[in-house]
Amino acid sequence: MLAITVADCVPVFLLDPIHRVVGLAHAGREGTYLGVTKALVEKAQHIYDVNPADLHAIIGPAAGPCCYQVSNEIAQRFKDAGLPVNNRNIDLWAANQQQLIAAGLTPHNIETTRHCTICKKRFHSFRHTKTADRNLALLLLKTS
């Protein structure tokens, strides 16, 4: 079982049903900017010889583009990197989807939950509550 904690950052779940390999990434603002999701796919290719076209991904609940406003400097940095920005709002869902596609996943194998942790209030949001609470993202590969 794999587990990460997130508040407004994106949990990215990865599955290769052929090789029975899973991966889980914590893709916050900096991790997304640095390409953590693409790096996860590349690591799976290198270690487990997976074919990215066989991979399935779920981009989980996180701060959505509706609410995730950052400074002008951060927004410009994302824009300069070719990542999706609308004024000062960054779109971590689309940025991670973009990285998955760049790594070789097919778009129809990528699902985005589109649950904004800030405005939907179904999940914990640090930006909303300012507490140390977190959401737990779990990924289990059944072996039998």
pLDDT in tens, 17-60: 999 999 999 999 999 999 999 999 999 999 999 999 999 999 99
**φ/ψ (deg, to 5) at 138:** -120, 145
Give, for 80, the enclosing helix (H) or strand (E).
helix 72-80
Kindly tell me if the per-residue pLDDT of 86 is higher than 60: yes
pTM reported for the whole predicted model: 0.90
Q: Residue 71: CB partners within 8 Å, gap ≥ 6?
A: 88
At position 65, the amino acid (one-letter code) is P
Q: Residue 73: CB partners within 8 Å, gap ≥ 6?
A: none
| Paired residues of 85 in beta bridges | 90
Question: pLDDT band at residue 130, thresholds of 50, 70 and 90?
Answer: low
Question: pLDDT band at residue 11, thresholds of 50, 70 and 90?
Answer: very high
Residues 115, 126: Cα–Cα separation, whole Å: 15
